[in-house]
Amino acid sequence: MFGLKLPILLAVVSVAWIGAASAQNNPASRLSIDQLVDIKHPSNPVWSPDGSHIAFIWSRAGVSNVSLAATNGVGAPVPLTSFTEGRVSHVFWNRSGDRLYFARKGNLWEVGLAGGQPRPVWKSPTTEADFVPSPEGTRVAFVRAGGGGAGQEQGSDLVVRSVGDGTELKLAHDDFSIQQLLWSPDGTHLAYVAGAKIVHHDESPAYSGAKLIYSIEEEQPGQLSVIPSSGGTATPVATKGWHEALSWGDAGHFVFARLSNEYKKRTIYVADARDGSQRAIREDAEDKFWSLPDWEAGPDPLPSPDGRWVAFLSDQDGWDHLYVIPLTGGAAVQITKGKFEAWRPAWSHDSTRIAFDANEPDHPGDRRIGIAAIGTDPRHARVEYITSGQGTNVEPQWSLDDRRLVYQHTDTRNSADLFVTDAKAGGKPVRLSDSMPSTLDRESFVAPEFVHYPGPDGLSVPGWLFLPKGLDRSKKHPAIVWVHGDGINQNYDGWHVQRNYAVYYSFHQRLLQEGYVVFAPDYRGSIGYGREWRNGVYMDVGGNDAKDAWMAANYLKTLPYVDSDRIGIWGLSYGGFFTLIAMTDQPKLFRAGVDVAGVVDYVMYYGDPFHNDWTVGRIGTPEENPKVYANASPISHIDRLARPLLVLHGTADVNVPFVESVWLMDEVLKKGKGNLVSFMIYPGEFHYFEREHVLRDAWQRVDDFFATYLRGGGSPASSVTLPPQGATSP
């Protein structure tokens, strides 16, 4: 542990002390950190050929395994693997439905439904990845590392292997990489992208020393090509560049999207697999920037299985809605309409219906599953919703017979789980999984209240207020403002749909049981509220959006049961960035803050090739808009810091490179603020904390930090004297 006080102290925390602190601060009735770690997350459900079962990946603290659930809901899911470390991916069924395949540690594995130990299908001396079964299920395509010539990188081979007799055929080689494998609908061809690479730019900033090298990644696009699956010559298709949502439209055409460099324009292309030509069939231009959340909106564009149509999402009327356009081009038809956002479209196998999820007007935190009946003409589409009530339902996927859908559900008492329902209104959802440990008392969970408060320019800011159960409103209580990350994200009416943020929602339930009031703002830039709110950050990153976040404290001060002198703030990523702004622009507003992997300066962020397109789309370049960039640089104002700050960051972070927090620490010391800042480094951890030992330490550290500065009840090793109100140091 690196405890950064002035002077810098290296403190050692033993396992025994952590256990003692947990025992001291965790009464039997309180949600424990062990229970938080034990909450699992399901993903990647795959229907069996006969529809009787769904295989899915169940992850716990960075370790994932394959599980099997009966679609009638009888019995608990059966674990087919029990790995204690590592991840599984690319799960698919064999043709007869009695065996599952999956990727793990560079190999293709198999496991039978009747029992037995999982094992590699074959052994290879080199790493293999991207396993994709052929449409008829008798072959598998994959990428094998190796084959580079002298002076070249290792390179990659595209290989097709028979599942039955194990015979192999090498189709192509690239000296850098092969990825995005796609079988044609008839199985006669394979598409792939070759030559994409990551160029590492190493730097050793003076504040860190010449012995430490930080790598900045620059992604360079590859070339889409198509090759006969029986062997032959590859044909380049379309111009070289990024291919968003790449897929086959029919046996002779591809569909993909591209964003302009400034995020002003999104274009949908159809490319001919035979002659390589491409043409645009749809273009969306934005005055500000294209801000649909691709990690939430799902596959977009999405061709129908019969190759007639392309479904896509657009916010041209101010809200994200579902549209359909012919593959051959022509007029697009808007399918959903209203003041809500529709995401994650999924075509039925017969190409007559599209399932999707959407929130309701004035209910941004709930989502329901809808089905648009397209028939043979989208102009006469009918939309009906097949789920109802409170909760967030997302990611519908059709059974092979198109009679049922599997989807993910969360609510105020349940983290993410899988459900199955009939593909028509009135069906009764069947629960397939329960991801929470049985020791949890779900009755103790707190549901949020959806509220609004005034922002800096008078606009109404939405947010979610959590009050501890049995709150004594005659007394003053500490409060914590949580600022979600990503910018383009949101809070939900219950557990977050993404594991990355669900772990924070879980921890907030623990904080509520400890007596804190918790508030989660959906500042401008957040999704769920339409294009204008989402694009409100344009040329103002770190401006009114950050004020929206920290002004949540002003709202909390209006509540008679909140202690105005004991309000904390914390956030991840973009939320960490806002935390740093709040702690420096408003140095006396918050008693303490926690920055988890936050951006410290947007000029630095822009300088990372991995992020500069994203940044330019919102605020231009530093040369064009120096005032905006100066506003988005909390490190420039770190001399204003007056209250305790805890910084947590993983060394393997590529979203917000770890070197940003290293620079922050250097400036903290130079400005004489080291006595206010603690810094915890997590070796090998990514942006979203995942591994068990990291989660345990981070949650205990945050718990102790807020207890010390907001409740005055931290553990002996972390307790310090609370500064009087208005003081500049603790």
Residue 683 within a domain: yes
Question: In which domain, by residue range, is 641 found?
Answer: 15-30+446-711
Residue 553 within a domain: yes
| Distance of alpha carbon 552 from alpha carbon 479, whole angstroms | 11
Same domain, 390 and 472: no
Same domain, 450 and 381: no
Residues 6+ positions from 39 with CB-CB distance below 8 Å: 60, 415, 435, 436, 437, 502, 503, 506
Q: Hey, how many other C-beta atoms are within 10 angstroms of the C-beta on 635?
A: 19
Decide: 185 and 307 in contact? Cβ < 8 Å: yes
Same domain, 352 and 460: no
Residue 623 within a domain: yes
Decide: 512 and 518 in contact? Cβ < 8 Å: yes
pLDDT at 235: 95
Q: Which CATH number characterizes residue 281's domain?
A: 2.120.10.30
| Domain edge (last residue) among 411, 438, 463 | 411
- Token code pair at residue 535: 């694009």
Decide: 269 and 280 in contact? Cβ < 8 Å: yes
Same domain, 386 and 463: no
Hey, what amino acid is at 568? G
How far, in whole angstroms, is CA 91 from its chain's centroid? 20
Residue 143 within a domain: no
Hey, what amino acid is at 249? G
Same domain, 350 and 492: no
Residue 177 within a domain: no
Same domain, 458 and 406: no
Location of structure tokens 């006080």: 5
Decide: 722 and 712 in contact? Cβ < 8 Å: yes
pLDDT at 146: 80
Same domain, 694 and 557: yes
- Token code pair at residue 682: 């997590």
Same domain, 360 and 265: yes
Same domain, 450 and 395: no
- By residue count, the chain amounts to 730
| Distance of alpha carbon 488 from alpha carbon 474, whole angstroms | 38
Residue 570 within a domain: yes
| Distance of alpha carbon 419 from alpha carbon 425, whole angstroms | 15
Number of domains in the chain: 2
* Helix or strand run (H / E) with residue 78: strand 78-79
Same domain, 392 and 496: no
pLDDT at 725: 37
Decide: 234 and 243 in contact? Cβ < 8 Å: no
Same domain, 407 and 450: no
| Distance of alpha carbon 106 from alpha carbon 120, whole angstroms | 10
User: Is residue 453 classed as helix, strand or coil in its secondary structure?
Assistant: strand
Residue 50 within a domain: no
| Concatenated DSSP letters of 386-400 | ---SSSEEEEEEE-T
3-state DSSP percent of the chain in helix, strand and coil, to 5: 20, 35, 45
User: Is residue 462 classed as helix, strand or coil in its secondary structure?
Assistant: strand
pLDDT at 261: 81
| Concatenated DSSP letters of 531-563 | HHHHGGGTT-TTTHHHHHHHTHHHHHHTSTTEE
Q: Which CATH number characterizes residue 548's domain?
A: 3.40.50.1820
Residues lower than pLDDT 70 in the chain: 1-29, 147-153, 713-730
pLDDT at 147: 55
Residue 354 within a domain: yes
Same domain, 500 and 365: no
| Distance of alpha carbon 12 from alpha carbon 431, whole angstroms | 46
pTM of the model: 0.91
Decide: 211 and 190 in contact? Cβ < 8 Å: no
| Domain edge (last residue) among 365, 394, 411 | 411
Report CA-CA distances (Å) from 494 to 339, 470, 497, 510. 21, 19, 9, 14
pLDDT at 315: 95
| Distance of alpha carbon 228 from alpha carbon 186, whole angstroms | 11
